Amino acid sequence: MNTKVLFDNGTVKWIVFGRDNSRPDAVIDTNEYAVISGDEAILLDPGGTEIFPYVLSSVSEHLDLSKLTKFLASHQDPDIFSSLPLWMAICPNAEIYMPWVWSDFIAHFGKESVKNFVKVPDRGMGIKVGKADLQIVPAHYLHSSGNLNVFCPVSGILFSGDIGSALIPEEYPFWVEDFEVHTRYMQKFHERWMPSNTAKDAWIRRVRALNPSMICPQHGAIFKGENVKKFLDWLENLEVGRLDL
């Protein structure tokens, strides 16, 4: 599993873990993100059971696991956090932030950890990790009826979950380099997995107000610089919720 440091100002550090060529062929590739500040860290969408050993190995190279005090499950899919009981065996006191609407479903991954659940209201909430004040931002119906993003005002990074995801070839770069070429890897995904144009447009307005420097999806490559605006403009003009039979 490869890693990249996305931001580090000495107080807040973002790391992405991805491009896992050692994963089983039948398992979709995912990006996991750690935000580290002071003596605390949060892992965003830690991944499924099948890739747990690889994620654990990579994360432990970059931070003391005793500092891993929080997790985020952006929604209910198994590639998000079916590894729940494995992580909780290592971090038994960690808080797990999730959409309230999915808490009873995520409990099927590990009901013993329900005491650690923090049920995020639909409007989102603030969350403090060390010295970092993060914002949990609503992204409902994109593609899940209860879905969350995370924004870091200091770095300007938005973790967007499945929004912006792309089904990319092996050995693809971490960053979107040629936006027009990149659209071929994400268009069908968004047309099928994003069911609501109304929700999509509301999310775009919300994100433009945040003015992120990077948009970091759970699958595919990261948007930064002018590609952030290009992605938002592209998504705004895309009709989603399409199923061509």
Domains of the chain: 2-236 (3.60.15.10)
CB 102 within 8 A of CB 115: no
Q: Residue 60 has what pLDDT?
A: 96
What is the C-alpha radius of gyration for the chain, rounded to an integer number of angstroms? 17
Q: Is residue 135 classed exposed, middle or buried when 0-12, 13-18 and 19+ CB atoms within 10 A define those classes?
A: middle
d(CA 204, CA 114): 33
Q: Residue 205 has what pLDDT?
A: 98
Per-10-residue mean pLDDT of the chain, 245 residues long, equals 94 92 76 97 96 94 96 96 96 98 95 96 98 98 96 98 93 93 96 95 98 97 97 97 75
- Complete DSSP assignment for 60-83: HHHS-GGGEEEEE--SS-HHHHTT
CB 215 within 8 A of CB 161: no
pTM of the model: 0.95
Q: Residue 1 has what pLDDT?
A: 81
Q: Residue 171 has what pLDDT?
A: 82
